[in-house]
Amino acid sequence: MNRLYALILTVSAAVIVGCGGVSPRPDHVAITKLLGDGTYEVQLRYSETYSGGPCLSKDWFKTRTSYTTNWVFVNQLVGDITADRLTVTIDASRKDWPYAMTNLHGTVLFTNGLMIVRLQQPDVDSDGNAMKTYIPFYLNGTYQTSEEAH
């Protein structure tokens, strides 16, 4: 009986641990667009692939990928721009909290057709409260810049 109980616990733990997604996979092409007010909108596109979830549902063995965009708004596309001089948002038309990320640290560098994102975001506890520590921004990396076709 103890072996059956151990097997049930092991399988249950594997099911619970196996639910969820993977880290975002950036597109590595940053689409830039000059806006009417003279600022720039930069699209950072990425995908996330999820397996399972919610656990023990009929879709448990399915894998699906979602495609998402974050927007970065800056005044220039050259040089090092500190986090306090840019806006990162999950909705291009909404640049305020809760759509825009707040309390970012770090820089975004534009040079030689590249955008290098080196930001840190506040760590958040399980209740959604910002903590006093920072973690790397989930879309940090090097992107090739490309103007949006008109």
pLDDT tens sequence across 109-121: 999 999 999 999 9
Nearest 5°: CA angle at 24, between 22 and 26?
145
- Selection from 125, 119, 90 nearest residue 103 by Cα: 119
For the chain, helix (H) and strand (E) counts, in that order, are 1, 10
φ, ψ at 13 (rounded to 5°): -65, -40
pLDDT tens sequence across 39-92: 999 999 987 776 665 555 555 667 777 778 899 999 999 999 999 999 999 888
What are the CA-CA distances from residue 87 to residues 74, 77, 90, 94, 119 (Å)? 7, 14, 10, 10, 12
pTM given for the model: 0.74
The distance in angstroms from the start CA to the end CA of the chain is 69
